[in-house]
Amino acid sequence: MHVAHLSLHDFRSYEALEIDLDPGVSSFVGRNGQGKTNIVEAIDYLSRLSSHRVAADLPLVRRGAERAVVRAAVVRDERRAVLEVEINPGRSNRARVNRGPLPKARDLIGLVRTVVFAPDDLALVKGDPTERRRFADDLLVLRGPRYAGTRTDYDRVLKQRNSLLKTARARGGSAAESVLSTLEVWDERLARLGAEVMTHRAALVEELLPLLGKAYEAVARGAHRDDAVIGYRPSFEVPDGADAAEVESLFHVELQRRRRDELDRAVTLVGPHRDDLLCELGELPVKGYASHGEGWSFALAMRLASYDLLRSTGDDPILVLDDVFAELDSGRREQLAELVAGAEQVLVTAAVAGDVPAALRGRRFDVADGQVVPHD
């Protein structure tokens, strides 16, 4: 699968942009702030309905415009389909396939899949747990788009439950009793949805573990594949191999046990929104112990493991290397280029053409002053 044509309207800095793309490698070269990352961000958004750069949709719409449109012609097994998303900040987004509207925008997720390498990837291993939870959830959505609905439902229930906890604390005394009875209902929903999220994440980590070791060995030459380890750490104790029903029961018990603390703090203290992924190198946490280079190698290995996992269950994902070569030494540049050069489609951005390894030169576009021009 590859993107053959990309059309942008009022997306980021582009009022209108039309680009023809080929399989293999395409690089977008230009100084920072010229709009090269906006191009690959649009394709990534079409894949996940989420940006790897910002959490909200508003920054994706060009200043002064009400909405943005991302449209791509995607070729799979010589068959062509046109995917489109209309981004409407503050309102529901709309999605179409071959001009036909989809019931929900999220039905578009996973029709084309991306794996993005970006400068912020170091936060995967050195940042807070939010980054690692997002990594797992994004990957789960691409593997099975229905997971997006489960995660959205969990967030909605969590928000409602937190609101009730705040109300109970504000009222106090006997007035809080009616709120607490309602809280029981939300406990059941939270435990059911949370158990589903947790069991999916635990299973994902089990599948990623051997792929991560293999990828780290390839990225960090001289390393052994058992040096790099990833694990799942829930916010409460769960036995290995527990199924969703067991996790739900344990979740509910833990909610009861922490009830007083939650009422005092007016926030939900238990659940997948407080889980973490453990990243270890040589039996020590990457965060706080690994060098900068080791951290980068681990983060790259996580992305490569994601790519290998996705391609094992479907089409090759589109690889996006967004300004990552400036962050790597020459050895790691060449090694990463060697590992990804055979992908069906690779999109590279760089401020300086010389930063792009020879194996990934491919077709080059120059990006400057809002113009994207094929390089002669």
pLDDT digits 0-9 by tens, 97-138 = 999 999 999 999 989 999 999 988 999 999 999 999 999 999
In sequence order, the β-bridge partners of residue 70 are 8, 85
Percent of the chain scoring above 90 in pLDDT: 71
E strands, 172-240, where?
228-233
User: Phi then psi for 118, rounded to 5 degrees?
Assistant: -140, 160
**Burial category of 35 from C-beta neighbours within 10 Å (exposed 0-12, middle 13-18, buried 19 and up):** buried
| End-to-end Cα spacing for the chain | 26
pLDDT at 180 exceeding the cut of 90: no
Query: For 155-175, what is the mean pLDDT?
Result: 84
pLDDT classification of 227: cutoffs 50, 70, 90:
confident
- What pLDDT is attached to residue 55? 87
Q: How far is CA 151 from the centre of its chain?
A: 13
Look up tokens 């070269």; give the residue: 29
pLDDT classification of 167: cutoffs 50, 70, 90:
confident
Query: For 254-276, what is the mean pLDDT?
Result: 94
Mean residue pLDDT of the chain comes to: 92
Q: What span, in angstroms and rounded, lies between the C-alpha atoms of 220 and 298?
A: 8
pLDDT at 174 exceeding the cut of 70: no
In sequence order, the β-bridge partners of residue 29 are 350, 366
Measured at the CA of 350, the angle between CA 349 and CA 351, to 5 degrees, comes to 135
Question: What's the pTM value of the predicted model, to 2 decimals?
Answer: 0.91
Q: What span, in angstroms and rounded, lies between the C-alpha atoms of 194 and 177?
A: 25
pLDDT at 175 exceeding the cut of 60: no
- What pLDDT is attached to residue 334? 85
pLDDT classification of 170: cutoffs 50, 70, 90:
confident
